[in-house]
Chain A
């Protein structure tokens, strides 16, 4: 098992390295113009621009840049943002932003899991009845309606009805409710949908019939047998939510003025803030691969059939 985990970590590391390398190199193909602030493109002359690029180290060979980056990374220096937050140390940025996003993300994940699973259970329990129809309606709604419409509605109207703050404040717990709920809406639908599907699949299994034959009431069969098995495939996906926790949602963070990481990567890429992009990609890749890895571990934990061995 230790050997397996070590091997997995090693393989994950390889993936991370490849992902990082690909992104790093892709970034070097970006147009040089992208590095300039608007006014510089219009006003600065060739020499000024070059001076600017040289100061950023962008004129060196990509491999030299890579070497420099890796060296600094091992020294614990994440570098400074270039264009998005000029000169601000990336470490500072991450320390400021990740906790905010992760905090809301964590609670929304929790809400998503709890509400989603309850909803899925309800849908199975009352299959082909009103509970199921309502649940399906909700899932459809969330998947089909452009999210901005209902997110907007939640922010403006729901906040009015329940007298909740319009934007997020780190010292007002009431203001956390709407962002958390908004963040959780789609994952509730996701969990409900898949739990229902897996449970319906499991219901046809022999052991469920056997459990019924044993004389257990339907509720208990659903809970102890069907549900217990249906969450196994779900549990493998659960840690992949880790990434969502720290990457945040651009729309929701914009609406609620949350100073988090939502859209940070997109902004960084669009502004060609190489340093920031690199660190974020590295971090996200590590987290997402960690998520997959944790998913496997969790799977092995909830499913006794799975043994953590090679391959």
Chain B
């Protein structure tokens, strides 16, 4: 069976010539047909075709195994527009674009297909010299992490100028002048002075601007941006996106934008390619992809966004985890996770089906033969959407205070001087609610969580009470034990939060061992197995090591580890931000389910406002160690008062191209506050709505709130 299937997969194995002339002819035909569909969109593009990837196959040798990262994928890049490639980690989006500039890792190779650029097939390039003509000059690239993309020990000026000098053979002086121009162009003030500075003296956003300036130094025809904003804070992200957009227009270059964030896609993309398991499964204009997705994966992805969910109900979630690319994939790679899959999805690789001239997808659903089934699915979804009614907001009238935080201050020593990561923060957490703490990286949100969890002790000022008793400062053994059983934490990075060298059994039992919370060995195993089932994993996982699991599964193991202690209160420290979109919904649903079943209270720490809105009852916004605003969820979204909150909200990408294109960023400059004489205070301005400001500002806020 398998063998037969293999020969029926012309797309996957285009390089392999079939012995069977009929099958060969069929494959050729299919290929011609696909070319035809790809070509249809040509007239809808702004400019001519620049780069054309055809049936590219990329394989990696990984620990003796063969991994097919790109499974025969084609893509066209046209001049002067932005093409976004969306996909989750491991989908191959990054690897795919790396082939455009010959930057595959050493253990990877292009194993088939062509890459046409200026009439040459770059897939055949073998020497460095050939690539030197392309890299930087014709095709440039911006990496994800601006913190590591720049050489820390050379001035940014040198790093930009060297490109100009090398590619254009210009003198040092000329290159410098040009560099300063570039810096100006990417929005760096005082470029003459900045020219001589080192990357360490720039903030993340500024560095990314420098990286972009370097990339565009040679006026490349194509700029590949590999998740350029993922590592940035929302407000900065919005600015960088704006910059890329404006540069793209100004320089009339093509931008290939790789991201997993659909909101960003909506913001920036003219065209979108959705990639799953090493293959582009859907392609179309941004509007088409967002408004009328056809591939089940694209659909599911969009539906699982928390922005689109209804509060109190489960988010639509994609089951399971992405497939292993070490194995031969038969049929539609997404089929095993697709609850509505058809039998054919498991049997045969779907070909490309055109939707419009500019939109195509690889799904059997578009086959004329599946028309009726497709219609029934559409109808069902519409029905579900209609029935969703948001739950009533949390009732605070009789709420019992579980935790009070008063004037919490956390100090850190940094190079001899101490700085306050958290500065005089006060708030309450009521039993049964979800309080979200939102802020940018470095704002102190995680520190608050850890201070409550007593991970920081010596450097903590102020007071925290739990169920009425003080938990800061020295505690007896008994009290500590009680706290360990009643308060638990979930961590951000599922890769780092599980001990790689311990089995799942030990990881989950760790707390049980610590306080001997089981009667017998069988009892302990039963407890572990129960909790595993509860978080949606099977009990057979008990004897495995963490590395055998995917990110989502690991995060669920982390949750199980906390829940097995039966806590009342959970600090969830960015539990979903490191997860892929398709996995986030699972974890959010799980957290919500656990909250209901076990009447938990959450302190939810996040930087992603979209997910926060879906799950929280109240939101606290933190900026540079100060809480600036705290209000019930909907109140905050409807009537943000503090300028920082407003800026934050305005910057949040929303997965709708229409709203994203028209969105206006509200800038926030901390210098606008004049706290020199009039000291700010934390005030409850309307019932339940707290804000940080001085008397003058408060007055303004009050007026605004009333209006």
Residues of A within 8 A of B (CB): 205-207, 209-218, 220, 224-225, 228-229, 232, 302-305, 307, 309-311
Note all chain A residues with C-beta closer than 8 A to B415: 307, 309-311
Name the one of B134, B145, B167, B218 contacting A206, with C-beta atoms under 8 angstroms: B145
Is the Cβ of B218 less than 8 Å from the Cβ of A215?
yes
Selected interface stretch from B136-144, B432-440, B473-481: B136-144
Name the one of A214, A228, A305 contacting B200, with C-beta atoms under 8 angstroms: A305
In the complex, 16 of the A-B residue pairs with CB atoms within 8 angstroms, ordered by the A residue number, are A206-B148, A207-B150, A210-B141, A213-B101, A213-B141, A215-B132, A215-B134, A215-B135, A217-B132, A220-B166, A224-B162, A229-B152, A229-B153, A305-B198, A307-B415, A309-B415
**3 nearest A-B pairs in the assembled complex, by CB-CB distance:** A215-B136, A310-B416, A215-B135
Is the Cβ of B136 less than 8 Å from the Cβ of A214?
yes
- Asked, given contacts A224-B162, A305-B200, A311-B416, whether A213 binds B153 with beta carbons under 8 Å apart, the answer is no
CA distance in complex: A309, B149 (Å): 26
Interface of A is mostly: helix
Minimum CB distance partner of B197 in chain A:
A304
Tell whether B72 is near chain A: CB-to-CB under 8 Å: no
Is the Cβ of A232 less than 8 Å from the Cβ of B218?
no
**Residue among B134, B145, B148, B198 with the highest chain A CB neighbour number at 10 A:** B148
Given A210-B149, A228-B151, list of 13 further CB < 8 A pairs? A207-B152, A210-B143, A210-B150, A211-B159, A213-B101, A214-B140, A215-B134, A215-B136, A217-B132, A224-B154, A224-B162, A229-B152, A307-B415
Name the one of B101, B154, B162, B416 contacting A309, with C-beta atoms under 8 angstroms: B416
Is the Cβ of B148 less than 8 Å from the Cβ of A213?
no
Note all chain A residues with C-beta closer than 8 A to B417: 310
Chain B positions 393-415 with a Cβ under 8 Å from a chain A Cβ = 413, 415
Chain B positions 99-115 with a Cβ under 8 Å from a chain A Cβ = 101, 103
Name the one of B143, B150, B162, B200 contacting A216, with C-beta atoms under 8 angstroms: B162
CA distance in complex: A218, B166 (Å): 12
Note all chain A residues with C-beta closer than 8 A to B135: 212-215
Note all chain B residues with C-beta closer than 8 A to A303: 152-153
Q: How far is the CB of A133 from chain B (nearest CB, A)?
A: 19
Q: How far is the CB of A117 from chain B (nearest CB, A)?
A: 16
Q: How far is the CB of B125 from chain A (nearest CB, A)?
A: 13
Note all chain A residues with C-beta closer than 8 A to B140: 213-214
Minimum CB distance partner of A216 in chain B:
B166
Name the one of B148, B152, B166, B198 contacting A215, with C-beta atoms under 8 angstroms: B166
Is the Cβ of A207 less than 8 Å from the Cβ of B198?
no
Is the Cβ of B153 less than 8 Å from the Cβ of A232?
yes
CA distance in complex: A311, B143 (Å): 34
Q: How far is the CB of B105 from chain A (nearest CB, A)?
A: 9
Is the Cβ of B416 less than 8 Å from the Cβ of A305?
no
- Asked, given contacts A209-B103, A224-B154, A310-B416, whether A217 binds B148 with beta carbons under 8 Å apart, the answer is no
Residues of B within 8 A of A (CB): 101, 103, 128, 132, 134-137, 140-141, 143, 145, 148-154, 159, 162-163, 166-167, 198, 200, 211, 214-215, 217-218, 413, 415-417
Note all chain B residues with C-beta closer than 8 A to A220: 162, 166
Is the Cβ of B154 less than 8 Å from the Cβ of A213?
no
Q: How far is the CB of B130 from chain A (nearest CB, A)?
A: 12
CA distance in complex: A213, B162 (Å): 13
- Asked, given contacts A206-B143, A211-B151, whether A218 binds B198 with beta carbons under 8 Å apart, the answer is no
Minimum CB distance partner of B158 in chain A:
A224
Minimum CB distance partner of B152 in chain A:
A305
Note all chain A residues with C-beta closer than 8 A to B215: 213-214
Is the Cβ of A213 less than 8 Å from the Cβ of B136?
yes
CA distance in complex: A211, B148 (Å): 11
Note all chain A residues with C-beta closer than 8 A to B211: 210
Note all chain B residues with C-beta closer than 8 A to A229: 151-153
CA distance in complex: A311, B413 (Å): 10
Q: How far is the CB of A90 from chain B (nearest CB, A)?
A: 40
Minimum CB distance partner of B131 in chain A:
A215
CA distance in complex: A206, B231 (Å): 14
Note all chain A residues with C-beta closer than 8 A to B101: 213
Q: How far is the CB of A228 from chain B (nearest CB, A)?
A: 6
Minimum CB distance partner of A3 in chain B:
B416
- Asked, given contacts A206-B148, A207-B148, A216-B163, whether A228 binds B153 with beta carbons under 8 Å apart, the answer is yes
Name the one of A206, A302, A311 contacting B153, with C-beta atoms under 8 angstroms: A302
Is the Cβ of B136 less than 8 Å from the Cβ of A225?
no
CA distance in complex: A211, B217 (Å): 13
Note all chain B residues with C-beta closer than 8 A to A212: 103, 135
Note all chain B residues with C-beta closer than 8 A to A214: 135-136, 140, 162-163, 214-215, 217
Note all chain A residues with C-beta closer than 8 A to B103: 209, 212-213
- Asked, given contacts A220-B166, A311-B415, whether A225 binds B132 with beta carbons under 8 Å apart, the answer is no
Note all chain A residues with C-beta closer than 8 A to B159: 211
Note all chain B residues with C-beta closer than 8 A to A228: 151, 153-154
Is the Cβ of B149 less than 8 Å from the Cβ of A206?
yes
Note all chain A residues with C-beta closer than 8 A to B200: 304-305
- Asked, given contacts A228-B154, A229-B152, A304-B200, whether A215 binds B141 with beta carbons under 8 Å apart, the answer is no
Q: How far is the CB of A295 from chain B (nearest CB, A)?
A: 16
**Residue among A211, A215, A220, A304 with the highest chain B CB neighbour number at 10 A:** A215
CA distance in complex: A212, B135 (Å): 8
CA distance in complex: A206, B149 (Å): 5
Is the Cβ of B162 less than 8 Å from the Cβ of A215?
no
CA distance in complex: A60, B413 (Å): 48
CA distance in complex: A17, B417 (Å): 28
- Asked, given contacts A212-B103, A215-B218, whether A304 binds B198 with beta carbons under 8 Å apart, the answer is yes
Note all chain A residues with C-beta closer than 8 A to B148: 205-207
CA distance in complex: A246, B141 (Å): 51
Q: How far is the CB of A289 from chain B (nearest CB, A)?
A: 21
CA distance in complex: A220, B167 (Å): 13
- Asked, given contacts A215-B135, A215-B137, A311-B416, whether A209 binds B143 with beta carbons under 8 Å apart, the answer is yes
CA distance in complex: A225, B153 (Å): 9
CA distance in complex: A123, B603 (Å): 54
Note all chain B residues with C-beta closer than 8 A to A232: 153
